[in-house]
Amino acid sequence: EQATSFYDAVGGAETFRRIVAAFYREVATDEVLRPLYPEEDLGPAERRLRMFLEQYWGGPRTYGEERGHPRLRMRHHPFTIGPLERDAWLRCMRIAVAEIEPELLDDEHRKVLLDYLEMAANSLMNAPW
């Protein structure tokens, strides 16, 4: 018997779609983050982050099928990510997660998700300034 994944417990595809859509809506007007994104169209970046998070939390493994091993440190190497960028990324992400109602994301799951995002953002810093 398979335990319910975090992905299913918080509402599956629709919840991740909403979080990542709101995150990129914030990125689009963030003066620290927006210049880092190489493409004018944020749509493909939105899709990659959504697929990654779905896979990480036990949902579909489409990210791996399309992109292979995440190697996130390596993939962020081209971008200067210091405390300013980390803070901006987390600010956008916290706004996005806050839009998910408690019926879908209860306190316990919300804390697990936010703690992970903070840890992951810290781990991807590659510049001290």
Binding site for ligand HEM (CB under 6 A): 33, 36-37, 45, 48-49, 52, 67, 72, 75-76, 79, 81, 85-86, 89, 120-121, 124
Residue entry with tokens 């091993």: 69
Question: In the bound complex, what is the minimum distance in angstroms from residue 1's beta carbon to ligand HEM?
Answer: 29
Question: In the bound complex, what is the minimum distance in angstroms from residue 92's beta carbon to ligand HEM?
Answer: 9
Asked whether the beta carbons of 62 and 55 are under 8 A apart, the reply is yes
116 burial level (CB within 10 Å; 0-12, 13-18, 19+): middle
Q: Which is nearer to ligand HEM, 9 or 51 (CB)?
A: 51
Instruction: State the DSSP code for 12.
Output: H
Q: Which is nearer to ligand HEM, 2 or 38 (CB)?
A: 38
Q: 3-class SS at 125?
A: coil
